[in-house]
Amino acid sequence: MIRKNIKKILVPMDGSKNSMRGLDEAIYLARQCHATITGLYVIPIYPRNFSDSIIPFQLHLTKSAKKFMESVKTICAQKGIVFKSKIVLGSPTIEIDEISKNNEFDIIVIGSRGQSGLKEVFLGSVAKAIVHKSKIPVLVVK
């Protein structure tokens, strides 16, 4: 049964097939509930003393994230869904949790890592952490 009071959906994304599966489910849910989707792309922060070459790498990641989020916005628009993108630097688990709380989302739809064999029974580390920390419903898509 789909909750009709779902109006804001948060979809953490990283450009992987798993995050795209999460997006597909979020699009389905958004169409049923007339909700909007916010895609969240978290770029990891590396310690300052790690290397001076990290800054150009983070700039490259930011540029790639923007390009990816534009393509996702196009996909959502083609399906009649309003999509907002948010790109932040930080720890994925912390940022997803904080943004979900501060922006009053109704649900988080997150893709888990798609492993085969014994690892298949385990969620990805970020998805697992979000399931345990979140105060709002979390839909994990395998």
Of 26, 10, 22, 15, nearest to 66 by C-alpha is 15
**What's the average model confidence in pLDDT over 106-132?**
73
Percent of the chain whose predicted confidence (pLDDT) is above 90? 70
pTM above 0.95, yes or no: no
How remote is the C-alpha of 69 from its chain's centroid?
Answer: 11
**What's the average model confidence in pLDDT over 81-90?**
96
Q: Which residue has the higher pLDDT, 53 or 121?
A: 53
Structure tokens at 81: 């869904």
Q: pLDDT digits over 40-62, tens only?
A: 999 987 666 555 566 677 788 89
Interior CA angle at 99 toward 57 and 73, to 5°?
A: 65
Structure tokens at 57: 């790498």
